[in-house]
Amino acid sequence: MKTLRFVLGDQLTRDLSSLKGIDPKRDVVLMAEVADETTYVRHHKQKIVFILSAMRHFAADLRAEGITVDYIALDDPANTGSFTGELTRAIRRHKPDRVVVTEPGEWRVRQMIDSWGAEFSVPIQMLEDDRFFCKLGQFAAWAEGRKQLRMEFFYREMRRSTGILMAGDKPAGGEWNYDSENRKKLPASYTPPRRKRFPPDAITRDVADMVATRFAGHFGDLEAFGWPVTRADALKALDHFIDTALSGFGDYQDAMKEGEAFLHHSLLSPALNAGLLTAREVCAAAEAAWAEGRAPLNAVEGFIRQILGWREYVRGLYWLKMPAYAQTNALNAVRPLPWFYWSGETEMNCLRQCIAETKAHAYAHHIQRLMVLGNFALLAGIAPAEVEDWFLVVYADAYDWVELPNVHGMILWADGGYLASKPYAASGAYIDRMSNYCSGCAYDVKAKSGPKACPFNYLYWDFLSRNTATLEGNPRLGMPYRNLAKMTPERRHEIASDAERFLETLES
């Protein structure tokens, strides 16, 4: 039986389910760079370069094994621009007995693949993506009957089922979660570790030249590109993180510093989400570092929680609740996304720094995304769909299955608390505590009102005030609402006036 094996751009894993049992003498692997996938949102230039270069390197590795790869480049004149069009042409060329594909990560692609059974006379077999710890059916069974889904409880189940960081039936070290130890501010004199980057090779340079021309109007710069685009380099990046940065990840994972985009973060998510690394090997490497005394437990547990806990959790929730999940808007946020999210032209230094680093690297770490970029969008009442599109565009690790739940549920609380127990809203005091951004800002983080006050300060209270009916009963917001209730009518009017004045400037 001749099989056409269709491998997508985020499935660059040699033991992918659709590649298992491949017969190099008969089977053909189809890979296609298509316009639909580069433009369904206007992806950051580095994201396009990363994915296309990684695809080309993966195809070369398969060919080196003696496997036939039918590879369609983006600039091929015959390229139809869609997965369906390229599969149609490939079936005509190769006349396979069947087509095999691993289930995709995104809802829109799944809908496309589901339509192929009626479109083609050749049988289409879609296989489970077994690169994740938790099967989708397993997650659905865990979620059944729960009014709210809490990642912490799911994470504990995953620890038990995998045995990762377990001592028998107890968590290693006696605690499930060491997050309380992971909120330290960087000392003023602290120098973060130098991080390994990977200069573009000939394949990557060719792709970058094409992207610079074809996608000149897309957001982002290409000059600082340094992502690993091969399996070998991704493994080097993993080893480098474990050896040089993991030990400080726990203490400083919530810290931010002007001019330091990477700090102790792993920088592995682009490779992990594209398939160059697997979640199992990344967690195993971190656990081994703890077992060997090379990294403390709070760092290793915090890192593993992001992968074994959070990453698996948002994927399960995405497939459980899509497509209706994306349409909710619990806080009725409708304001357009401010232009400075694209230009970086704002006097708010924290936002300016995070946007500049995003533009330069197609990357910002999770606290920058949640507590600066996301926090502002939440407080200002930006429409969820516009914020979600922005996050999907600008980050090299962003795919709908991981980006949408994080932004829609975690950052914007647009699902009404199904994912997160409370909105992650904060005033300027949080940003001042966890970064040095405020010292270089035109606004005064200590001032509570007036044109020079940090906008986060009055926007925070205005957010609580205008969402009182929805949020006042939330038990995790009891203290701020008690403080709001103690404010005089004059103070509340001052907050509303400051917020209205500032938000009006966003529209201009």
| Closest residue by Cα to residue 113 from 132, 129, 135, 97 | 129
Joined tokens for residue 79: 């390229």
For 320-341, the pLDDT digits (tens) are 999 999 999 999 999 999 999 9
Of 98, 103, 153, the C-alpha closest to 128 is 103
Q: What residues contact residue 395 under an 8 Å CB cut-off, 6+ apart? A: 44, 47, 358, 362, 363, 364, 369, 403
What fold does the segment set 3-127 form as a domain? Rossmann fold (3.40.50)
SS3 readout for 173-233? HHCCCCHHHCCCCCCCCCCCCCCCCCCCCHHHHHHHHHHHHHCCCCCCCCCCCCCCCCHHH
pLDDT value at residue 180: 82
Outline where DSSP puts E strands in 221-339. none
pLDDT score at 165: 98
Q: Which token pair is 345?
A: 């032209």
How many angstroms separate the CA atoms of 58 and 56, rounded? 5
Mean pLDDT for 262-280 is 98
Residue that has been written with the tokens 């006042």 in this structure: 472
- Tens of pLDDT, residue by residue over 2-51, are 999 999 999 999 999 999 999 999 999 999 999 999 999 999 999 999 99
The residue assigned the tokens 């033991």 is 15
Exposed, middle or buried by CB within 10 Å (0-12, 13-18, 19+), for 506?
middle
Angle at 286 between CA 283 and CA 291, to 5 degrees: 120
CA distance 1 to 19: 15
Helix (H, G, I), strand (E, B) or coil at 133: coil
Q: pLDDT at residue 508 above 70?
A: no
The percentage of the chain sitting over the pLDDT mark of 70, rounded to a whole number, equals 100
- CA 243, distance to chain mean position in Å, is 24
Query: Phi, psi at residue 335, to the nearest 5°?
Result: -70, 140
pLDDT at 439: 94
464 vs 152: CA distance, rounded Å: 26
CA distance 55 to 245: 28
Q: Is the pLDDT of residue 200 over 70?
A: yes
> Dihedral, CA atoms, 140, 145, 149, 154, nearest 10 degrees?
-60
pLDDT band of residue 188 (cuts 50, 70, 90) is: confident
Homologous superfamily of domain range 340-507:
DNA Cyclobutane Dipyrimidine Photolyase, subunit A, domain 3 (1.10.579.10)
Q: Could you tell me the residue ranges of all domains in the chain?
A: 3-127, 136-195+245-321, 340-507
The DSSP line for 62-120 is HHHTT-EEEEE-TT-TT--SSHHHHHHHHHHHH--SEEEEEPPSSHHHHHHHHHHHHH-
Q: What pLDDT digit, counting tens, does each position of 419-470 carry? A: 999 999 999 999 999 999 999 899 999 999 999 999 999 999 999 999 999 9
Under 8 Å between Cβ of 45 and 222 = yes
The three-state (H, E, C) secondary structure of 284-303, written as one string: HHHHHHHHCCCCCHHHHHHH
pLDDT above 80: residue 507: no
End-to-end C-alpha distance for the chain, whole angstroms:
63
Pairwise CA distance, residues 215 & 230, whole Å: 23
Cβ proximity of 19 and 371 under 8 Å: no
DSSP one-letter code for 259: T
CATH 1.25.40.80 fits 136-195+245-321, yes or no: yes
Q: Which residues contact 475 (CB under 8 A, 6 or more apart)?
A: none
Q: Going along 355-417, which residue ranges are E strands? A: none
The residue to which tokens 């960081």 are assigned: 165
Helix (H) or strand (E) holding 167: strand 166-167
Residue 84: both structure tokens together: 């369906």
d(CA 95, CA 91) in angstroms, rounded, equals: 5
Query: What distance in Å separates the CA atoms of residue 107 and residue 91, rounded to the nearest whole number?
Result: 24
Tell me what the mean pLDDT of segment 37-66 comes to. Answer: 97
**Dihedrals phi, psi of 429, to nearest 5 degrees:** -60, -35
If you average pLDDT over residues 369-393, what whole number do you get? 98
User: Residue written as tokens 């009916």?
Assistant: 469
